Structure 1
Amino acid sequence: MVVSAADELVDGVTVRGLFGPALRATGAVVLDLSKVTFLAMEAVVPLLAVAQRCAAEQRSLTVVASIPVRRKLVSLGCSR
């Protein structure tokens, strides 16, 4: 399943709705955040929920991150 987002991700409710299908999907998940210009802390929580669910279910998760998203995730220690 591929979930794409663009522009600013600023609130958890919107992001949970956006990432919801990824939580219910089976198989590999790709979060395409390459066009996201800003990632608020409130939006990080649902992103981490997807990562935790995929890890628990031993599913592959790929995050295609824009530079702002990558910076936020690195600052939080959430990147490889």
Structure 2
Amino acid sequence: MSPDLKIATAFVSSVGAQTPEAIVKALAGHAKFLRGRLAGDLGQMRSMPSFRFRVDTAFENFAKIDRLRADIDAIVAGIEQ
């Protein structure tokens, strides 16, 4: 959420055939519809934020860190021998 609560950011990842970029594009195209549906269900809110969708890269970053740690472990193991 933005500090003024007017924009909600949803981070999207995918499992399957579609790329996260395609999913983000589809969600962005339906953002007004989603906002309207949620506004109806969450009527007690003063105002419903606009939605913004972004690709979630956290999993990719974790995988990179894991690979780097494995590389370091292999180097250290080689030095210790």
After TM superposition, is the score higher than 0.5? no
TM-score, reference length from structure 2? 0.25
Normalized per residue, the structure richer in strand is 1
TM-score, reference length from structure 1? 0.25
Normalized per residue, the structure richer in helix is 2
| Larger Rg belongs to | 2
